[in-house]
Amino acid sequence: MKTNHYESVIIFNATLEDPQIDSILSSLEEQMSANGVEISDMEKMGRKRLAYQIQKGKSGFYIIYRFTSPREYITKFERALRLDENVIRFLTIKLEQKDLEFIAKKKVDDAQKVAETKEQQPVKKEVPTKSEESTKTETETIETTDATDTTDATEDEKKEIKE
């Protein structure tokens, strides 16, 4: 039996709860492993808005599987997806070597970006609020008036200095 690399995008009904989706995925993965399929990657993309309505729905829960499988299994896999009423759409494609290289490169790039963002965590600068700024200006004014320089002081401040 010749095996090939495949990628399958499955869109589930978005009205399903997360535990329901997880149970459907676990049963699907059990079926895949029972038929000699090696799942290399699984991405849960989550709930996303559809480009157009499918079965009167505007959103769906996206899952991407990348796996190695015998050619004969793909028809069984797609038949099982067609019969599942929770699956809105699916698409399975055969991956070529250049596709596999691109996916591997993308994973490395994403891992590097994550590592860089962890290293460059933003340093929080303390920016004074308006109330803090007004307090500073009041204290600065009082300090200048203590030096008995009454040229810039208001009438009330001049009275306070004399007392």
Kindly report, residue by residue over 50-91, the tens digit of the pLDDT.
998 988 889 999 999 999 999 889 999 999 999 989 999 999
Q: What does pTM read for this prediction?
A: 0.66
126 vs 142: CA distance, rounded Å? 24
Strand, helix or coil at 148?
coil
Strand, helix or coil at 16?
coil
Among residues 63, 62, 11, the alpha carbon closest in space to that of 39 is found at 63
Task: Give the number of residues written for the chain.
Answer: 163
User: Is pLDDT larger for residue 89 or for residue 124?
Assistant: 89
Tell me if 18 sits within 8 A of 81, measured CB to CB.
no
- 57 membership: H or E segment, kind and range: strand 57-70
Count other Cβ atoms within 10 Å, centred on residue 10: 22
Tell me if 28 sits within 8 A of 59, measured CB to CB.
no
Kindly report, residue by residue over 12-49, the tens digit of the pLDDT.
998 899 899 999 999 999 999 998 899 998 999 989 99
Domains of the chain: 3-98 (3.30.70.60)
Among residues 89, 10, 28, 25, the alpha carbon closest in space to that of 57 is found at 89
Please report the sign of the dihedral spanned by the C-alpha atoms of residue 92, residue 36, residue 47, residue 12. Answer: positive
Per-residue model confidence (pLDDT) at position 92: 94
68 vs 159: CA distance, rounded Å? 89
